[in-house]
Structure 1
Amino acid sequence: MNERCQKCNFKFEKEPGFFFGAMYVSYALAVAQMIACFIIFWVLLDLSPLVVFFIIAFVVMASMTFNFRVSRAIWIYLFR
C-alpha cells in the first residue's frame, strides 16, 4: 500500500489496529469467491469434490493480494 494518496495526500496509515476491520472484509470477499466457485464448478459443471476443492484453493490463493488491497480500500472508504 502507498503511504499517502497521490492525488489528495491522505495518509493511509491510521492508528494501530484501524485496519483490523479490513480483515473481516477480506474474509467476506474470499468466502464470496469460494461460494461462487463452488456453485460454478460443482453445481453447474458437476465436477468431483476433490477437483472442486483444488480449484477453490487455487482461486483463493491467486486472488489473495487482490483481496488484501481491495478490502483495505473498502474499509478506508467506509470511514472517509
Structure 2
Amino acid sequence: MCPRCSICDLKFQREEGYFLGAMYISFGLALATIALIAALLWAITGWWITKDVTWAVVLFVPLAPTISLFARVLWIYLDQAFDPEPPERGNISAGSD
C-alpha cells in the first residue's frame, strides 16, 4: 500500500496500528457475507446448515482480499469524517502566506 494518496496527498497510516479498526470492519463484513451466502445456499439447495456454511466459507475465500481492502477504505472514510487530518505545514496551498 502506498504511504500517501497520489491525488490529495493524504497520509494513509496516521500512527502505528492505525488499521486495527479496519480489521474489525473486515471481520464484520466477512461474517455478513458468509451468512448471506449460507442463507442463499440453504434457500436454493435445502442442504444441512453445516454443509451450507462450509460451502459459503469456500466460496468466500476468493472474496476475502477484496473485502479487506474495502474495509480499509471504509475505515479511512469514517476516520476522516469524524477526525479529519489537518494539513501539514509543507502542504499548505500557495496564497495563504
TM-score, L = length of structure 2 = 0.72
| Aligned equivalent of 1:76 | 76
Superposed displacement of residue 71, structure 1: 0.5
One-letter code aligned to 1:37: I
One-letter code aligned to 1:62: P
Paired with 2:36 and 2:46, the residues of 1 have a C-alpha distance of 14
For the aligned residue pairs, the C-alpha RMSD in angstroms reads 1.6
| Aligned equivalent of 2:46 | 46
Confirm or deny: 8 A CA contact 2:35 2:53 kept in the other structure.
no
Bigger Rg, structure 1 or 2: 2
Paired with 1:60 and 1:31, the residues of 2 have a C-alpha distance of 10
1:8 matched to 2:8: yes
Runs of 4+ that moved beyond 6 A: none
| Aligned equivalent of 1:24 | 24
Superposed CA deviations along residues 32-51 of structure 1, whole A, max 9, x for unmatched, are 11111111001333134464
Paired with 2:63 and 2:2, the residues of 1 have a C-alpha distance of 19
TM-score, L = length of structure 1 = 0.84
Q: Which has the higher contact order (CA 8 A, sep 6+)?
A: 1
Q: Which runs of 5+ in 2 are unaligned?
A: 81-97
One-letter code aligned to 1:41: L
Give the paired residue count: 80
SS at 1:63 equivalent? helix
| Percent pairwise identity | 29
